[in-house]
Structures are given as C-alpha cells and as structure tokens.
Amino acid sequence: MKSTTTTRKVNFDKELFKRSVLYNVMTLYRKTLEEATPQQVFQAVSYAIKDQIIMNWMDTQKAYEEQDPKTVYYMSMEFLMGRALGNSLINMQAYKPVKDACRELGLDLNVIEDQEPDAALGNGGLGRLAACFLDSLATLGYSAYGCGIRYRYGMFKQKIEDGYQVEVPDNWLADGNPFELRRPEYAKEVKFGGYVSVRTDANGRSVFTQEGYQSVRAIPYDLPIVGYGNGIVNTLRIWDAEPVECFQLDAFDKGDYQRSVEQENLARNIVEVLYPNDNHYAGKELRLKQQYFFISASVQEAVDKYMRKHDDIKKFPEKVTFQLNDTHPTVAIAELMRVLMDDYYLTWDEAWSITTRTCAYTNHTIMSEALEKWPIDLFSRLLPRIYQIVEEINRRFILEIQDKYSNVPGVDVNEKIRKMAIIYDGQVKMAHLAIVSGYSVNGVAQLHTEILKKQELRDFYEMYPEKFNNKTNGITQRRFLLHGNPLLADWVTDHVGNEWITDLPQISRLKIYAEDKKAQQEFLNIKYQNKVRLAKYILEHNDVEVDPRSIFDVQVKRLHEYKRQLMNILHIMYLYNDLKEHPDRDFYPRTFIFGAKAAAGYRNAKLTIKLINSVADVINNDPDIAGKIKVIFIENYNVSSAEIIFAAADVSEQISTASKEASGTSNMKFMLNGALTSQ
Ligand SMILES: *Cc1c(COP(=O)(O)O)cnc(C)c1O
C-alpha cells in the first residue's frame, strides 16, 4: 500500500466560519446565537466545520480515484469513536483558531464540545483500536475505509444508583449527527433465510440462487475521518437497515402480509443496539444477523466500487484488502466467495485464489469464552448459501490436512481434524475459518502472538507459518495527548518540537530533561493542573472532594474478572484496615479512581461495582481516614471522560491476570500522559 497526497489542502477560514455559524443557527433553528440552546450552538458550529471538511473530503476521494492506490477495508463490529468535533479540529490544525473565533462570538469551545454525545459504537479496547487505526491511516495518507454498523443505540450509559450499575439507553442520534452523510445511492440488499436452489446453465455450470428469503436494504452513512495536517479525509462507513419495500397493500392482498411485517421488524431490529459484551461470546441469532448485514453490504460495495474502475475482477487483491477486526466480521470470507461465484460467475478455484489473497485476520484474545462458535442449525438456517460455502471450504481444508499429515509418522490425522476443522461437533468455528481463508493472522502484542504460535493456534502455525505475524496495538497521540492534555502537549512541543504529533518516537527526545529540575517542576505543575481539572469533575459528578496533591491511582477499563478490579479494591480495603489499626503510620495520601462498565448480564462484574461503591462510601465518610484515602467510582467511563482521566493520572493500574490481556491500550494512554505503571 502506498500513501497518497491530495493536490491541495483547504485551510481553515476563520471569517467564513464565523459567518457560517450565525447563518446555521438562523437557517436550522430560526434563532440568533444569543437565543440558541447550547445543543443548537454545537450543531451550528459542527455544520460549519463539516462544510470546511467537505472540500478536503472531496479532494481526497478524487485523488484516490486518480492515483488508484490499494485500499484497506477495516471491517469491525465496533468503532469506539468518542466525539468528532474536537478531534476533527485538532487534525485540521484549526483547534486554536476555532477556539478564538468562538470566543469572538461569545462562545466557549469547551462548552460546545461537551454538548456532543460520544459515538460509543463499541465496548472497549477492540472498538477503540479501530478508531485509533482510522485516525492513523488518514494521518499517514492511506486509502482506507472503516466498515461498521450505525447502531441506533450504542454502548449503554451507566448510572450508579445506590452503588449499583443501572444501564440507560444511549440515544446518541436524538439530536441528529451533524457530521454524517446519508448515501442512499450506495444502498445494498442483504438476504437472510430461505433456501438455495441449484440449476444447470447452458454451459453446464451449477447456478445457485437464494429463494424464499427475507431481505433488508442496507443504507450507508459516511463519517469523515480527518488526517492530521495533510488535508486527507477518509471515510468511516456505517450501515443502517431499512425494510426493502414499504409496507404495501398488494402484499396484503397476495397473502404476504406476514412477510411484510417480518421484513419491517427484521430491519428495525438488526441495527437497534450494540451488544454490550466485551471479550465474551453470547451466541445470539440477532448478533449473527448484524454481522452478516454489515459484511454483505460492505463486501458488495467494495466489489462494486472496484468494478467501477477496473475490468478484471481477478486482480481484486492487488487493489483491496479486508482487515477483519477479530472473528466478528469473518463471514466476509464466505460472502466474498459468494459474490465472486454467484454474481461474477468465477469458478471455486478462481474465487478462492482472490479471497485468500484479500482477507486478513486479527486475533484479539485466547480466552475460550470469547471464541465465536455458531451452531450449524442456526447458521445454516439464517445464511443458507454462506453455510454451503463454509462447508465446502471446510471439506477442502480437511482434504488438505489429510494430504499433509496422513503419511507423517507420529501424527494422528483424525486428532488434527478434530482440533482444526472449521465445522466440527455441530459448530462453525469462526477463528478456524478466518485462519484458513486469509493471507495473514496477527496477534496484538509480541507475547500474545508468541502464545498464539506456540500454544493456542499451534497446529495452524505448523501448517501455515508464513501467515502468522505480530502487529502490536497502538493509540493515537492526537486524541490522547494533543486534544486530551493540551497543557502537556504544549510543554512537549516547547521542549522537543512538534514532530511527535505525527511521529511519536520523537517524544523520546524528552529524555535529556529527565533529571532537569526545572523541567521536572514544570511537568509536575501541569500534572497538578490536570488533577485539579479532574477533581472538579469528580466534585461535580460524585459530590466528593479529592485532594489534587494526593497520588491519583487509576484503574479504568471494562469490568472483568480477568482484569482484577476486585484485587484492587481488596487491596484498598487492606490499606484502610491497616490505617485504622495504625493511625500514626506514615502514609502519603492516595486517591483511588475506578471507571468501568460491566456487561449488563455479567453478575460478578456488577457486584464488583457495588463493592467498590460500598467501600468508597465507608472510606470517604470515615473521619479517621480523612486526608489519607479517597475512593472514587467515575460513572459512565467512556472516551470523553477517559481523555480527562488519563491527563490527571499518577499511577496506571495494569494488573490483569497474566496472559489474559492480549494487549491492552489504556496502558499506553496513561504512559503518554506521564503516569507510572503499576503491574
Ligand atoms: C483505551 C480504552 C479502553 C481499553 O482499555 P484497556 O485498559 O486497554 O482495556 C476501553 N475503554 C475506553 C473508553 C478506552 O478509551
């Protein structure tokens, strides 16, 4: 893949922006700026910014068309984007000019930013990784699409009531999304259920068609992904579902009333809500529908787009790669085979050659409870043609195993088949499908990849060693330092220049200041101001005063037994008891901060939240402990609160059970903000 430059970068126009904001509140709301609500001001400002993004967006897409670079489709059930406004301004290098322009209009940009709901279309690390990759790809000038689902409700909002987590629906689209663009011209039909009929055509070939199915219309919505300082704007394309045809009376007359209603319900249900499980497979039919829905639409559009520019489908892998974020999008493999064979009339071997050079799989976990295994009856009923194709991939793979191992002394071929088959014991194993059918299998940290090769996926590594590689996770310094911690960002730039913004290793030039007393003091002053900012947030949200001079010891991540928030709170209980027994013990004051959502059905995780809040109640209200320990549970941990929390952390708790956390990324966000890691 080669990176691209656009012909021109349209720079931010401050006067145009100010006029545009005033015009927008008028045309959108029939109001003056003074009359507009904060939400309306946010909308007016965002539309004004989008107008300026659009020009670069068009230029970028035109440049890609002319230069025809290879394009990556990053396919993911989750994109944990957070807010768009501040991030877009940062990457347009327009944050400070817009802040000034807002001030001149009598507005505070921070207040405006706070009006935007987080796009929380993800659970945790996996979804945030997808968002960070999009930022990086645009900044590096790679032609890239994110492909996902436009969930009506994203990750639930967490309320704490009487110490317990309560889930509240996240109606993030209630006020409309000023950054999105509906693209009905690229709508696709996605078919579910029914049966496959086979007939032989004039050339003696078998032709497969799905019949008696229900279908939905997938409508894409595009979100701009602004690269840093390069004028490049890539696209996150998320799909909405609509009924194929409106509720029609003649359908009623034909006796298809039931099917009309069902198709309408299917469309309504499919994109309704994000499954709130992190690292846990639930095996629900609706989840498989979601997976096939956005994958079928994305694959169809990727092939259509390629064929609009090229005439030889066989060269598809030279121009397209599908990167599968975990096994959730793995039906892309069979869907691509289906499109190539059924719509483009390629033979199996031709389609297989293309598919296996197009698809690549990222493994995120080795925990058995997270591995996707679909019961054959569910899978084949919902996706009859896709199941046929998976069956054939499996049949040929088993032949390959037999071919390779039948005459190898000391190898039990049947044992190999039992362990490696894609379909076995009544289940379709998605990880096996992804490994067999792609050109790349990557782990997300060096150690994790080694464990895959030597333990979890050892048989596959022995068979296909060339496929295995490591891509250690990363984070974007643009959001998690430049935007989240402007004081430290400016300080870093003052000391080592601004190259770190697009080339993070440059930040190591700070090393020469490690022992510099003045630099140390400046750093600590900045950390202190960020702790004051977080203390203010805590006072407003928790009604608890914390001392910004105390050590801020932070554990923020999804609540999971393997992540061991329980161990952390038990340690705090031990410290408390110890201080009660020895009140005169020398003790440096500490504020323990937690933030974590538990999956709605995860009992132990939810009980841990209650325990943390109960312990907080006791400790925070014990006069013997005043000035020594505080315990804070921050409600509704998400990307936006994360930015404030990382900037203020002294200690980063990374205490997951050894080998269970494949990579982790919050560790990196903490480090970037100068916190020390406790592990
Ligand atoms: C980075 C991030 C995560 C991942 O945190 P880990 O500690 O690596 O599990 C989860 N949620 C949010 C909001 C994040 O920003």
Report residue 595 as tokens.
């933030």
Pairing of strands 320-325, 71-75: parallel
Mean pLDDT of 180-189: 98
Q: Please report which confidence band the pLDDT of residue 166 belongs to, taking 50, 70 and 90 as the band edges.
A: very high
Q: Are 133 and 74 in contact (CB under 8 A)?
A: yes
Cα Rg for the chain, rounded, in angstroms?
27
What proportion of the chain, given as a percentage, has pLDDT over 90? 95
Q: What is the model's pLDDT at position 374? A: 98
**Rounded to the nearest whole angstrom, what is the distance from the C-alpha of residue 643 to the centroid of ligand 1?**
11
- Nearest residue by C-alpha to atom 1 in ligand 1: 666
* 208 burial via Cβ count (<10 Å: 0-12, 13-18, 19+): middle
Alpha helices in 92-228 (DSSP H): 95-104, 109-113, 125-139
Distance 27 CA to ligand 1 centre (A): 39
- CA–CA separation, 257 vs 330, rounded Å? 34
Coil, strand, or helix at residue 321?
strand
Dist CA 510 CA 505 (whole Å): 10
d(CA 662, CA 469): 14
Q: Mean pLDDT throughout 16-26?
A: 97
Rounded CA separation 353/270 (Å): 32
* Global pTM value: 0.97
What tens digit of pLDDT does each residue of 433-478 get? 999 999 999 999 999 999 999 999 999 999 999 999 999 999 999 9
* Axis crossing angle, helix 95-104 with helix 14-29, rounded to the nearest 10: 60
Reduced to 3 states (helix: H, G, I; strand: E, B; else coil), residue 234 is: strand
CB of 665 within 6 A of ligand 1: the answer is: yes
Question: Greatest CA span in the chain, whole angstroms?
Answer: 93
Dist. CA 32–CA 303, nearest whole Å: 47
List of domains in the chain: 281-472 (3.40.50.2000), 477-678 (3.40.50.2000)
Query: What local confidence, expressed as pLDDT, does residue 450 receive?
Result: 98
Choice from 641, 665, 671 to test ligand 1 binding pocket (greatest atom count within 8 A of CB): 665
Cβ–ligand 1 distance for 473 under 6 Å, the answer: no
- Cα-to-centroid distance, 294 and ligand 1 (Å): 24
Angle, CA 167 vertex, CA 166 and CA 172 arms, to 5° = 140
Mean pLDDT across the chain: 96
Give me the pLDDT at residue 596, please: 98
Q: Is 642 in the pocket of ligand 1 (CB under 6 A)?
A: yes
Phi and psi of 650, rounded to 5°? -95, -40
Going by CA atoms, what residue is nearest to atom 11 of ligand 1?
124
The reported pLDDT for the residue numbered 201 is 92
3-state DSSP assignment of residue 121: strand
Assess whether the C-beta atom of 4 lies below 6 angstroms from ligand 1.
no
pLDDT tier, 4 (very low <50, low <70, confident <90, very high otherwise):
low
DSSP helix/strand/coil, 306: helix
Top-confidence residue, 3 or 564:
564
Give residue 6's pLDDT. Answer: 56
Instruction: Check whether 599 has a pLDDT greater than 70.
Output: yes
pLDDT for the residue numbered 219: 98
Six-digit token string for 211: 């019949």
Give bridge partners of residue 147 from the DSSP assignment.
75, 237
pLDDT digits over 241-299, tens only? Answer: 999 975 555 555 666 777 778 888 999 999 999 999 999 999 999 999 999 999 999 99
Closest ligand 1 atom to the C-alpha of 480? Answer: 15
Task: Give the SS3 label for residue 13.
Answer: coil
Per-residue pLDDT of 371-425, as tens digits, reads 999 999 999 999 999 999 999 999 999 999 999 999 999 999 999 999 999 999 9
Using the 8-state DSSP alphabet, how is residue 11 labeled?
A: P
Q: Tell me the C-alpha distance between 360 and 599, whole Å.
A: 29
Task: Indicate whether 360 pLDDT > 90.
Answer: yes
Check: CB of residue 295 under 8 Å from CB of residue 329. Answer: yes
